[in-house]
Amino acid sequence: MSQYTLPLPHQPVYTEENFLISPCNEAAWHLLHQWPHWPSHALVLAGASGSGKSHLSHLWAARAGATTIPASALTPAEPQGQHWLVEDLERLRDPRALFHLYNYTRENGGSLLMTANLPPAQLAIPLPDLSSRLLATPLATISAADDAVLAAAMRKQFADRQLKVEEEVITYLLPRTERSLAQIQSLVTRIDEAALEHHKNITVPFVRKLLEKDLA
Kindly report, residue by residue over 152-200, the tens digit of the pLDDT: 889 988 998 999 899 999 999 998 887 777 788 889 999 999 999 999 9
Domains by residue range for the chain, with CATH:
26-141 (3.40.50.300), 147-215 (1.10.8)
pLDDT > 90 in the chain, percent: 65
Query: Which H or E run contains 102?
Result: helix 95-107
This model's pTM is above 0.85: no
